[in-house]
Amino acid sequence: MIMDNHVRQEYLNKHLPYRINSLLSPDLIEHRRNTSSSSDLKNKCFSDSLILEPSFEISIIFGRSLLQFLEIGYSNSTNSLIDYKPKPDDYTIRSLYPNLNVKPINDTIVSTNYQNLCVVSKIANKSVAHLTSKESNPGEHELLKPGRMAIYKLMLKYIPHINKVSSTDKIGIWWFEQVENL
């Protein structure tokens, strides 16, 4: 589905940065927790059960959503990444860039982080988005952070016009503003 210019700008300035912020929220909380000078802030604001656990679960769902936006899907039956087949009303990277002639699934970021990205999708499908009998394990949880970072890098690489810096009418990417762009 092709976007008109108004919708395109909304995605670049608001929707995609918001999802990236949600994707990286546990990593930003961890970063702030380790660098914050206020022990009161550390104890109250970043309490695991209050903030970190919900942001952790949201990050997994939005990770899968962003992978699908990049047209990267996941097969539960083969535990592998596949070409995502969008539904007729889904927006994907080709909605922003209809003439895109590369597939993010073939990128070296994907091949280097293949298992990490599989785990993000698997956990989103089987542990977070649906209540199923297949649980994730601590070993898989270790793969989530590098998976989230790989998704972030893919988004910045393939969506070069995405807004990274907050302003009155635009959402910035917190990780970019508070960690990378210091």
Secondary-structure breakdown of the chain: helix, strand, coil percentages, each rounded to the nearest 5: 60, 5, 30
pLDDT, tens digit, for every residue of 35-88?
765 565 555 555 555 566 778 889 999 999 999 999 999 998 999 999 999 999
The per-type count for the chain, helices as H runs and strands as E runs, is 10, 2
CA separation for the pair 66, 94 (Å, rounded):
13
pLDDT, tens digit, for every residue of 141-157?
899 999 999 999 999 99
Q: Is the sign of the CA dihedral 141, 143, 147, 150 positive or negative? A: positive
Does the structure show a pLDDT above 90 at 139? Answer: no
What is the torsion angle, in degrees rounded to the nearest 10, for the CA atoms of residue 60, residue 24, residue 94 and residue 77?
-20
Into how many domains does the chain fold? 1
Domain around 97: 5-180
Buried b (16+ CB within 10 A) or exposed e, 112-133: ebeebbbbbbbbbbbbbeeeee
Taking residue 6's Cβ as centre, other Cβ atoms within 10 Å add up to: 8
CA separation for the pair 14, 137 (Å, rounded):
33
Residues of the chain with pLDDT > 70, as a percent, come to 85
What letter represents residue 75's amino acid? S
pTM higher than 0.85 for the full model? yes
